[in-house]
Structure 1
Amino acid sequence: MLWKLSFNGIKSRFKDYLILFLGLVISSTVFYLFLSLAMNPVFLKSNMPITLSMTQFIFGFGAILLGIITLAYVNFANRFLLSMRKKDYGTYLMLGAKSRKIGNLIFTETLITGAISTLAGIVLGILASQGVTTFLMKMVKIKLKSFSPVVPTAILLTLAFYLLVFFFAALFNRIKLVRTPVIKLLKEEQSPVNVSHKKVLRVIFGLLGIGLLGIGYALLFRQRLDVKLVVTALFTISFGSYFLFKASLGLLIDLLRHNHSLQYKNLRAFTLGQLKFRLEEYTQILSVISIFFALALGAITVGLRFESYKSTYSATVYYDAAILKKTPKTEALLKQIAGKREFNYNYKVGKNYVYFEKSEFEKHPLINKVYDTKKISSQSEAVTNLKTVKLTAKKSDVEQMNFLLQSLIGISKEIKFVSASDYQKVAGVAKQLTLIKTKNMVANYEKLLEVIKIQNPYPDELPPLTPMAYQMVTGLVSGFEFMGFFLGFAFLAMLASTLMFKVLTGAEKDRIRYQMVGKIGFRTKQIKRAIRHEVGALFFLPAILGICHVLVGLQLFKKIVISPYQDFWIPLLIFLVLYSVYYLVTVKLYQGIVFKKLQ
């Protein structure tokens, strides 16, 4: 009989349960997607062999962070489930059901909900992993090898982790339900909320928060990517954020409430009161959201900056292709490249030397890129401080020209520059070197690479040309670029969903308050605006602090990526748009719960 009543209760709240179920599926899907990369050593070794140890550290650190977010997410999702069902269970107890039976019922319901959502999330994760990786690879224009969407270790770990978490959640629900009096189950949303009025304590918390944030920011400004330093900075910034929210929100609300022209416009007095009530229970979650917001945005920003390596490092070599033998296929490929320039140099291969005409280099000096050592202060700045050097057949340039020409023609013999008349007298095999420079190497990358490989099919023996540099750098940084985007979007999905469920958990209690506001004459439009403002404050206050964390945290990457602050607005805009989507969805769901009985 109890099971029949339970299923009827779920059926009557199907929309709310659907929100919960979809949220849990998204959680387990993201968790599996992440582990499918973290637990895939063949994939990591194939795409990031040089920096494998650093990659494993970042993925390991990311797995811990994702686990923490998941615990918080499941905790708030579980509270949302319990808040929906408390009144139903209280009614069953009023009708004579035993508390032990009700306890077993909620335990089983929670465990089944968790198990089904986890299994669905794993299946969806397997189906989505290939699509997600393909999308990200197209977005960052990279090719990754050896990726498999089915990773048995990741499946087992996801299943074990979620079942263990839901087991303890079910146990918690059972204990809490059995120990809660019937009257409290039925009327808990009418219970008073205790609000602290100790302003001195808030000032102390505020100073403590500012001090801890200052210490954390100072550590980040040291620009050392050291494990102990990063962990210490994360610790101080986390607690600094907590104390700052605990102090500042209350003081800010009090300050706004003293402004009568602001307070008594529309429902702002009510909205400020709502935020005041939420202050104590939201301090912890807002500080956590600000930290993970910073980590997610930082991961996307750094991932985007790795893209700059491709074009910047490719600029370390001037010429895009060297042609030693022209074939119909080579000519056909070159005809497809618009805006190219060709430079021809005749040479003869003698017994001991390679001879070039000096006049050709005076007419078209060979061009080389070299580092301007006077302007270089770090490794990441080296590629941004290049200077173009024109090489003629002068004595001062001969050594550089010898090295460059030997690598381009693939001959190690000493090179001599002679006059046109002497060149005609030289005995040897006459050949021609054609150098190609294009307006846009990246747009013609594949055609140029094919032209180069026609000259020499052995990749290890190819000359130092722009497409080769581009290919090498792409292979080196593509894994990190992919990882940055993946981590960022995974963290975003989890943290925004966590905040969403935290807000929706309190919607049941708020429904009566909004019902009273509706009864005293305020229009539905005004109430909806008040909800948007209230939820907006809870979403965007931690976002503002999170952006501050990112702006300081990017100092760590100054020696790793090129100009980490450049084009910061692009990932910020992308991130805020996606974050705003979660905000709008939360507002819509919140209004749906509040207006269920109000209208």
Structure 2
Amino acid sequence: MEPCTMSYTGEALVTKKCTGRYRTHSQCWLREENEMFKIMYLRLAMTNIRQNKTIYFPYMLANALVIAMYYILKSIRSMMQKAGTVKGSNTDMMLGFCAVVAVFMTFLILVYVNSFVLKQRKKEIGLYGILGLEKRHLIVMMFWEVAVTAGKGLFFGIFSGALLSQLVFLLFLKIIHIPSTLEFTVPLDSVLSTCGTFAVIYFILFCYNSISVWKMNPADMMKGAREGEREPKAKIALAVLGVAALAFGYGLALLANGPYETINVFLPAVLLVIAATYLLFLSGSIAFLKWMKKRERIYYKPGNFITISGMIYRMKQNAAGLATICILSTAVIVAISSSMSMYLGEEDILRIRFPREYKTSYIMDDVTQTPDTLLRSLDKRAHETGVEIVNARGYAQCWLGAVYDDGKLRLSDEVLGKEEDLFLFLALTQDDYNRMMGADLSLEEDETAVFTKGKIQLGDKLKLEDRTWEIKKTVENPETWNEVMYLTDNLVVAVMKDLDIVMEIRDMYNTQYADSTTGYRTVQYEYYFDLKGASDAKNMFFEGLRNHLVEDVPRLLTVDSIDTARTDYYEQYGSIFFIGIFLSILFVTAVCLIIYYKQITEGYDDRERFHIMQKVGMSREEVKKAIRKQILQVFFLPLILAAIHMAVAFPALCRLLRVMNLVNLDLFAVCTVVTVLVFGCVYFVIYSLTSRTYYRLVTR
């Protein structure tokens, strides 16, 4: 065969010698035609994106934003792993979990926006089909549109993420109180992970678009944007089901007693409220508006007539989006308020756990085991490191769970039961109490002195199972601490004559619950103290303290300091706070996109109504006022319902946060109010900015 010298460029026949293998004229011409069509599809895709900039610009901006956020999260995790900054695996595990949630949320955001873009362009794509483009041509064109969008999103997302990741990394280390120097790095594994993850997401979007185009014919596409113009039907059964689901979900959250029951019912309550929110927006709102429409005194007024009629159609088109806005808004408020309150409430927890800067404890097996061995070992360590132990306080305690019933305390192995029924019972010796409080108690074996807090009336006797002690005196709070006291406000501290009685109470519990899975109760000796000396000497004292004490003190439990605990707390709760902020930004991004595209939908729909209402005699200002009233009511309804959801969930969230050590619930209340107000302002700003696009479309 002769080498082909003919080539068709689309304008004229020119001569060009083929390189490579020999071809026939027809083969070469087909190759040139395919290349020409590839360029044409790419140019057509670029033209479509440019002409639909009102739709595509926020889409690309959202792509870049979510890609940048995902890259930042992956790069922070990668840099912390390589630098060995994280002391344990909790922070790394939480960042990994956050990455999974971020991928899921990002996928939902992009699927929603892609679906909206496809719906808005159905008429345009149908026109291409009528003009002669086959479905395979449309799919190729959409491939290039997705490819261009993905390419720009990945480039700008990773580029901006790389610039911001170092700053966010330093802020994260600042939040968790870990010092670090700034070293500009772009982790290659984070780049590859981001590209791979979003390549899969974009491929799924392309498949969805291809299937949507393949299943529809051009006539359906031409009327795609006009579907659903009939007046919606009020599905009373679904509306009633929504009200019932909401009432049941609220009831579970409000009527749960104690942390244990709250943990069990909280997730079902959340799922019920989510389902109820969608049902109420989809059916309940339409049923309520139609009920108002049947009331002549309400409906036949100029303002109400237009508002109610318009909102019926708006709720049909926007119900799912508005319900999603409501759920996401609630998620933002819960995430920010709870994580912020835990982060800011760490010092309250530390002040309760550590009445002094340092703490040690061990298990006392019998009455012959005195704290003298511990005290001698501590003094020896202090002498070796050049520090002095000051402000020391120590006591032996045995804590138990109890239930107050009919004037008597019954031992209980349930530490997460009903909060109003659960009591924390602590037994101390009078010698320890006198030494700590500067008191002069003198008790007999059948006498006790008590401190109570919460809903309890002991009278003149303390009854614990079959044992009874005369209450000789009510004493001051000795401010003892243990790891479950934040679960309840009900506390009984009983000061006994000696350690024999305290251990008798311990044996009473262990005998009764020998087969229980809650464990074995012990008498623990807690010793708190401060150090006087140079900082380096204090650090040297504490660094080797456990190894020193374990040689002398049998059954050693705790060797801790407030600084060590503070570092651990800030790492744990700081990570939770960072993740709460990160996820909230994703949620707000989703809310912003939904509102923006809803405004565009409203703008296209109201443009004709705007002119029709003017033709029937309404002034331009009256029309704008009526439309503005509808939009305000529609778009701020999710925010109001989100605030109601949060108010109902607040008591249950308080109980859950107590399980996570938050003892300052007033702080949580303040954080919740501030978060609701700030988010309301952000929501209003988002609405104001997106409404400009709406008014441009309506008045154009």
TM over 0.5: yes
Q: Percent identity?
A: 15
SS in 2 for 1:88: helix
Contact 2:252 2:266 (8 Å CA) reproduced: no
User: Which residue in the other structure is 1:439 paired with?
Assistant: none
SS in 2 for 1:408: strand
Deviation at 1:490, TM superposition (A): 2.3
User: Which residue in the other structure is 1:332 paired with?
Assistant: none
SS in 1 for 2:665: coil
Deviation at 1:78, TM superposition (A): 0.4
User: Which residue in the other structure is 2:221 paired with?
Assistant: 185
Quote the Cα distance in structure 2 between the aligned partners of 1:110 and 1:43. 35
Moved more, 6-15 or 159-168: 6-15
User: Which residue in the other structure is 1:560 paired with?
Assistant: 660
User: Which residue in the other structure is 1:34 paired with?
Assistant: 73
Quote the Cα distance in structure 2 between the aligned partners of 1:355 and 1:589. 64
What is the identity, as a one-letter code, of the residue corresponding to 1:200? A
Q: Deviations over 1:392-422 (max 9, x none)?
A: xxxxxxxxxxx778x636xxxxxxxxxxxxx
Match of 1:408 among 531, 539, 545: 531
User: Which residue in the other structure is 1:491 paired with?
Assistant: 583
Q: Deviations over 1:120-146 (max 9, x none)?
A: 2233223222223434555x5823569
Q: Deviations over 1:416-435 (max 9, x none)?
A: xxxxxxxxxxxxxxxxxxxx
Q: Using a 3 Å threshold, how does the CA distance of structure 1 residues 97 and 229 change in structure 2: closer, same or farther?
A: same
Quote the Cα distance in structure 2 between the aligned partners of 1:548 and 1:225. 16
SS in 1 for 2:168: helix
Deviation at 1:197, TM superposition (A): 1.7
User: Which residue in the other structure is 2:247 paired with?
Assistant: 210
Q: Deviations over 1:170-195 (max 9, x none)?
A: 12212223433334433433333462
User: Which residue in the other structure is 1:9 paired with?
Assistant: 48
Moved more, 225-234 or 265-274: 225-234
Quote the Cα distance in structure 1 between the aligned partners of 2:111 and 2:697. 25
User: Which residue in the other structure is 1:475 paired with?
Assistant: 567
Deviation at 1:587, TM superposition (A): 4.4
SS in 1 for 2:209: helix
Contact 1:69 1:494 (8 Å CA) reproduced: yes
What is the identity, as a one-letter code, of the residue corresponding to 2:678? V
Q: Using a 3 Å threshold, how does the CA distance of structure 1 residues 245 and 154 change in structure 2: closer, same or farther?
A: farther
Deviation at 1:513, TM superposition (A): 3.6
User: Which residue in the other structure is 1:372 paired with?
Assistant: 478
Quote the Cα distance in structure 2 between the aligned partners of 1:291 and 1:48. 35
User: Which residue in the other structure is 2:686 paired with?
Assistant: 585
1:67 paired to 2:103 = yes
- RMSD across aligned positions (CA): 4.6
What is the identity, as a one-letter code, of the residue corresponding to 1:210? A
User: Which residue in the other structure is 2:542 paired with?
Assistant: 460
Q: Deviations over 1:44-86 (max 9, x none)?
A: 974452xx35x56654554443333222201111023224433
**Aligned positions of 1:504-543 closer than 5 A:** 504-519=596-611, 520=614, 521-523=619-621, 525-526=624-625, 527-543=627-643
User: Which residue in the other structure is 2:64 paired with?
Assistant: 25
Q: Using a 3 Å threshold, how does the CA distance of structure 1 residues 70 and 299 change in structure 2: closer, same or farther?
A: same
Quote the Cα distance in structure 2 between the aligned partners of 1:355 and 1:496. 52
Quote the Cα distance in structure 1 between the aligned partners of 2:575 and 2:167. 15
Contact 2:126 2:222 (8 Å CA) reproduced: yes
SS in 2 for 1:566: helix
Deviation at 1:580, TM superposition (A): 3.8
Deviation at 1:117, TM superposition (A): 0.8
Quote the Cα distance in structure 2 between the aligned partners of 1:137 and 1:41. 9
Match of 1:91 among 124, 127, 145: 127
Quote the Cα distance in structure 2 between the aligned partners of 1:522 and 1:20. 32
SS in 2 for 1:472: helix
Contact 1:294 1:549 (8 Å CA) reproduced: no
Quote the Cα distance in structure 1 between the aligned partners of 2:561 and 2:302. 62
Contact 2:242 2:276 (8 Å CA) reproduced: no
Contact 1:297 1:571 (8 Å CA) reproduced: yes
Deviation at 1:515, TM superposition (A): 2.0
Deviation at 1:113, TM superposition (A): 0.6
1:142 paired to 2:177 = yes
Quote the Cα distance in structure 1 between the aligned partners of 2:693 and 2:132. 32
Match of 1:170 among 193, 198, 206: 206
What is the identity, as a one-letter code, of the residue corresponding to 2:350? Y
Q: Using a 3 Å threshold, how does the CA distance of structure 1 residues 72 and 460 change in structure 2: closer, same or farther?
A: same
SS in 2 for 1:481: helix
Deviation at 1:22, TM superposition (A): 0.9
SS in 1 for 2:121: helix
What is the identity, as a one-letter code, of the residue corresponding to 2:674? L
SS in 2 for 1:142: coil
SS in 1 for 2:666: coil
Q: Deviations over 1:473-517 (max 9, x none)?
A: 331111233223322222222223223333444445433442234
Deviation at 1:551, TM superposition (A): 4.9
Contact 1:31 1:158 (8 Å CA) reproduced: yes
What is the identity, as a one-letter code, of the residue corresponding to 1:114? A
Q: Deviations over 1:491-550 (max 9, x none)?
A: 222223223333444445433442234322342752345433332224543454255445
Moved more, 531-540 or 145-154: 145-154
User: Which residue in the other structure is 1:569 paired with?
Assistant: 670
User: Which residue in the other structure is 2:114 paired with?
Assistant: 78
Quote the Cα distance in structure 2 between the aligned partners of 1:278 and 1:355. 72
What is the identity, as a one-letter code, of the residue corresponding to 2:540? Y
Deviation at 1:384, TM superposition (A): 13
Quote the Cα distance in structure 1 between the aligned partners of 2:279 and 2:171. 40
Match of 1:129 among 158, 165, 172: 165
Contact 1:142 1:478 (8 Å CA) reproduced: yes
Quote the Cα distance in structure 1 between the aligned partners of 2:488 and 2:601. 59
Deviation at 1:304, TM superposition (A): 2.3
Quote the Cα distance in structure 1 between the aligned partners of 2:78 and 2:647. 31
Between the two structures, name the one with larger relative contact order (CA 8 Å, sep ≥ 6).
1
SS in 1 for 2:50: helix
Q: Using a 3 Å threshold, how does the CA distance of structure 1 residues 273 and 168 change in structure 2: closer, same or farther?
A: farther
Q: Deviations over 1:165-219 (max 9, x none)?
A: 2212112212223433334433433333462323234213321343245346666
What is the identity, as a one-letter code, of the residue corresponding to 1:16? I
Contact 1:75 1:169 (8 Å CA) reproduced: yes
Structure with more of its chain in strand, by fraction? 2
Quote the Cα distance in structure 2 between the aligned partners of 1:355 and 1:184. 84
Aligned length: 496
**Aligned positions of 1:287-436 closer than 5 A:** 287-306=323-342, 307-310=344-347, 312-314=349-351, 372=478, 378-380=484-486, 408=531
Q: Using a 3 Å threshold, how does the CA distance of structure 1 residues 355 and 265 change in structure 2: closer, same or farther?
A: closer
Quote the Cα distance in structure 2 between the aligned partners of 1:264 and 1:41. 65
Quote the Cα distance in structure 2 between the aligned partners of 1:584 and 1:258. 36
Contact 1:28 1:121 (8 Å CA) reproduced: yes
Q: Using a 3 Å threshold, how does the CA distance of structure 1 residues 543 and 272 change in structure 2: closer, same or farther?
A: farther
Quote the Cα distance in structure 2 between the aligned partners of 1:373 and 1:554. 23
SS in 1 for 2:233: coil
What is the identity, as a one-letter code, of the residue corresponding to 1:500? C
1:500 paired to 2:606 = no
Quote the Cα distance in structure 2 between the aligned partners of 1:598 and 1:188. 23
Contact 1:300 1:484 (8 Å CA) reproduced: no
Quote the Cα distance in structure 2 between the aligned partners of 1:374 and 1:318. 9
Quote the Cα distance in structure 2 between the aligned partners of 1:586 and 1:548. 26
Quote the Cα distance in structure 2 between the aligned partners of 1:459 and 1:145. 26
Q: Deviations over 1:450-490 (max 9, x none)?
A: x8415545262599xxxx95532331111233223322222
What is the identity, as a one-letter code, of the residue corresponding to 1:557? L
Structure with more of its chain in helix, by fraction? 1
Quote the Cα distance in structure 2 between the aligned partners of 1:318 and 1:377. 14
Q: Using a 3 Å threshold, how does the CA distance of structure 1 residues 146 and 222 change in structure 2: closer, same or farther?
A: farther
